[in-house]
């Protein structure tokens, strides 16, 4: 259905490669900011560390999410991929505080060297490759690629600010650092909203209506349908229907076939309870 996020089998090896590239990009940016005294590039590097830490948790969550169902997790462990978003919020909150401290204690008058811009661009190029690799690492990795793309944009901004700071005034570099810090707070708000939405178990009304319609088309009277997202693009749920004169063996056959099609076509694991009492 349009607008739905499809679930893709995680590929931890590709995500690990993406993380290694992110670590290299973060190292390059931090070195450039510290060695050549650009506050914008330094703050950019601080956000990279937060991104890398969150990515490591994403990798852990992706690995754990592939475990089969057990007594404690009868529906499986897929929702553990959300741990990356939670840790991302915490890591970015820490980096926002650290970046604010750097700006507060350093002041806006210092000597910026143009080489810092080169390191910012080099780090962003490495991050761009990391994003491409992570995109193909399946669910969980795609989320990491999405929020890692911001490191590419931040690198471009910090490079421009550092170059302006070196050629014109350190105030330009300082303003760039402030802008990146404010963006960190924006990311914290955005990712918190995403986490709240994912944990609220909000199902798509159109999808619920479709399942209800499919059951009605088979001749059942639908009492209710309940769906909840397991992970983006995959749902679990149940329904209660009345057979309305349909023989039990035929009803069971119809429900089994529908459940199989929903699982294959829509990633919905639906349990249907049949009430044969039509009185």
Rounded CA separation 122/22 (Å): 12
- Alpha helices (H) along the chain: 12-35, 39-65, 83-106, 115-135, 141-167, 170-199, 205-217, 248-266
Question: Which strands form 234-242's sheet, in the order they lie side by side?
Answer: 221-231, 234-242, 268-275
**What is the model's pLDDT at position 140?**
59
How far does CA 169 lie from the centroid of its chain? 38
How far does CA 33 lie from the centroid of its chain? 28
Classify 72 as helix, strand or coil. Answer: coil
**What is the model's pLDDT at position 9?**
63
For 242, list phi and psi in degrees, rounded to 5: -110, 135
**What is the model's pLDDT at position 4?**
42
**What is the model's pLDDT at position 124?**
93
Alpha-carbon torsion 172, 113, 50, 12, what sign? positive
Looking at residue 7, the DSSP 8-state letter turns out to be P
**What is the model's pLDDT at position 266?**
83
Q: Is 270:211 a contact under the CB 8 Å cutoff?
A: yes
Looking at residue 81, the DSSP 8-state letter turns out to be G
**Hunting for tokens 């990391």 — which residue is that?**
130
**What is the model's pLDDT at position 92?**
83
**What is the model's pLDDT at position 3?**
39
pTM: 0.70
**What is the model's pLDDT at position 1?**
33
**Which domains, from first to last, does the chain contain?**
12-199 (1.20.1510), 205-275 (3.30.70.1350)
**What is the model's pLDDT at position 61?**
74
Could you read off the pLDDT tens digit of each residue along the chain, which spans 279 residues? 333 445 566 677 888 888 899 899 999 999 999 999 999 999 999 988 888 887 787 777 777 777 777 777 777 777 776 776 777 788 888 888 989 998 888 877 889 999 999 999 999 999 999 888 888 776 556 767 777 888 888 999 999 999 999 999 999 999 999 999 998 898 888 888 877 877 777 777 888 999 999 999 999 999 999 988 877 778 888 999 998 888 888 999 999 999 999 988 888 889 999 988 754
Q: Write out the two tokens for 132.
A: 């491409």
**Hunting for tokens 């076939």 — which residue is that?**
257
Rounded CA separation 111/163 (Å): 11
């Amino acid at each position: 259905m349009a607008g739905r996020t499809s679930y893709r089998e995680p590929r931890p090896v590709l995500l690990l490669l993406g993380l290694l590239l992110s670590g290299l990009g973060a190292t390059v940016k931090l070195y450039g900011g510290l060695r050549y005294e650009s506050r914008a590039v330094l703050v950019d590097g601080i956000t990279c560390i937060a991104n890398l830490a969150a990515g490591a948790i994403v990798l852990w969550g992706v690995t754990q999410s592939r475990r089969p169902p057990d007594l404690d997790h009868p529906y499986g462990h897929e929702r553990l991929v959300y741990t990356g978003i939670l840790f991302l919020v915490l890591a970015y909150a820490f980096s926002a505080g650290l970046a604010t401290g750097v700006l507060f204690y350093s002041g806006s008058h210092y000597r910026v060297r143009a080489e810092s811009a080169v390191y910012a661009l080099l780090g962003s190029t490495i991050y761009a490759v990391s994003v491409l690799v992570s995109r193909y690492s399946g669910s969980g990795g795609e989320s990491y690629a999405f929020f890692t793309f911001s490191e590419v944009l931040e690198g471009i901004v910090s490079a421009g600010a550092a170059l302006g700071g070196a050629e014109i005034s350190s105030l330009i570099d300082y303003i760039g650092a402030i802008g990146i810090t404010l963006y960190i707070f924006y990311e914290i708000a955005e990712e918190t909203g995403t986490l709240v939405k994912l944990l609220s178990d909000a199902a798509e009304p159109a999808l619920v209506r479709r399942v209800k319609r499919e059951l009605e088309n088979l001749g059942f009277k639908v009492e209710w349908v309940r769906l909840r997202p397991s992970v983006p693009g995959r749902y679990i749920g149940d329904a209660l229907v009345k057979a309305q004169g349909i023989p039990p063996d035929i009803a069971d056959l119809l429900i089994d076939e529908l459940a199989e099609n929903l699982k294959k076509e829509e990633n919905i694991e639906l349990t249907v309870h049949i009430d044969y009492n039509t009185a």
